[in-house]
Structure 1
């Protein structure tokens, strides 16, 4: 019997986390995607702290209309701006077991457009 959808995602997530590690100079850009929303945060794994976060639930995005992919692009731009304010230019991308497609890809492209490198 094959793996369920959630078991498969957890296996991929563990495999990604083996190689994706964040430091204070190059934090991990962690993405969580639910059915309605998308959340992203910059994490310093050496200290175990979150340096910055953005999500589609923030007050800035409550008035936005559009598809979930368009909103994810705006969230990517927002996290890139927050990263630049605290002096971060490069990050390690952690897609959280999700496929690099759709909203996750839109978020990554939005962050790259705003100047974040990964």
Structure 2
């Protein structure tokens, strides 16, 4: 009985969760980085979701009882922003690959035409 009372008291005495300021900052940084890669004019669902989650996390971060939920949302926003950035980088790489393939094909055609003219 005393042991259960001690456990109950220690659970009640645990400190409240820390403010999610660091998670909010990381999410904002990740979103800023993704915006630079994606471009502000482009549509990106993960980037949109990251912004929505960060906004909600900021609202929740004003209430100590919601710190854990705010931290979770901020961490999800960070992941969404990183996904948006990775998708944008992959799209850019595909475009570069297509450009290089087109240039290579043009060079091949020029070489063949040059060889045929001899």
Settle same-fold status: TM greater than 0.5.
no
Higher helix share: 2
Instruction: Compare CA radii of gyration and give the structure with the larger one.
Output: 2
Higher strand fraction (1 or 2): 1
